[in-house]
Amino acid sequence: MFASQPMSPDDQPESRSASTSILFGRFMLPDMSEHPCQVTQIDVEGAVFATSSVPPAGTRLVAYIDEVGRVEASAGEPVDGGFKVSFLLNPSRRERLESRLKWLEDKAEGITDQRRHARYEPKDSKSHITMPDGRVYSCEVIDISLSGAAVKIEVMPALGTYLLLGKMRGRVVRYLDNGFAIEFTRQLDRTVLASEIGR
């Protein structure tokens, strides 16, 4: 998974979402003991955990990483000040992790606060969110654009979660004080946007 020496940002493959920001977290071992760690060089394949508690290679563990969430992993070889881990992900979890890491990368570069398209207040703010498991929640659309929308809602799905806003598919890219922002998987047609905002 990893080279014998930590990869620099320039060595990272362009096709893999990766973050060199230091994240904080903790991991739980099979004996249920929990240990704090700092997480570096994280990507969809694995990461480096900086910690004083280094389990034997091959040990299964569950990590809880700030702004990433829960990840199952297997301990790899020790490194100076910690150890490497390989993530154990099914395709859907891998996709969600990749989306979260891309969000973190954009956040570090200040991209998440830049709005690519003008946003408008919809003519009817009442709508609903359909979660991947089929649950439906009422929401209020704060604003909408060709590329996304902001919704006021009580539930807070994980970053990267794919869902439906009405009939428009998108993913959660940012949390708001009273809801979250959605990026549509396909840019809206301008006539669709015009019907949503009453123009």
Q: Is 131 found in the same domain as 44?
A: no
Q: What is the pTM of this model?
A: 0.48
Does 61 reside within a domain?
Answer: yes
Residue 120 in domain: no
In whole angstroms, give the CA distance from residue 163 to residue 127.
Answer: 13
What DSSP designation does 55 have?
P
pLDDT 10s digits, 16-74 = 444 446 788 899 999 999 999 998 888 899 999 999 999 999 999 999 887 778 889 99
Among 112, 41, 47, 52, CA closest to 74: 47
CA distance 75 to 3: 15
Tell me the C-alpha to C-alpha distance, in Å, between residue 55 and each of 76, 83, 103, 150, 184.
9, 8, 30, 43, 41
Q: Is residue 71 part of a domain?
A: yes
CA–CA distance, 47 with 41 (Å, rounded to integer): 5
For residue 113, being part of any structural domain is answered with no
Query: Residue 118 domain-assigned?
Result: no
For residue 195, what pLDDT is reported? 61
Is 17 within the bounds of a domain? yes
Write the pLDDT tens digit of every residue in 113-156: 444 556 677 778 899 999 999 999 999 998 888 888 899 998 88
Asked whether residue 39 falls in the same domain as residue 95, the answer is yes
Q: Which of 64, 79, 108 lies at the terminal end of a domain, its last residue?
A: 108
- The CATH code of the domain that includes 161 is 2.40.10.430
Give the count of alpha carbons within 13 A of 3, CB side only: 8
How many independent structural domains does the chain possess? 2
* Contacts with 150 (C-beta within 8 Å, 6 or more apart), sequence order: 119, 141, 142, 143, 144, 176, 179, 180, 181, 182
User: Looking at residue 196, what is its pLDDT?
Assistant: 60
Query: Same structural domain for residues 94 and 160?
Result: no
Last residue of a domain, one of 108, 141, 156: 108
Same domain for 100 and 130, yes or no, is no
Nearest by Cα to 56 from 27, 84, 87:
84
Same domain for 39 and 74: yes
Distance, CA of 75 to chain centre: 22
The verdict on residue 133 lying in a domain is: yes
Identify the CATH number of the domain in which residue 59 sits.
2.40.10.220
pLDDT higher than threshold 60 for residue 7: no
From residue 30, how far is each of 38, 72, 133 by CA, in Å? Answer: 20, 12, 29
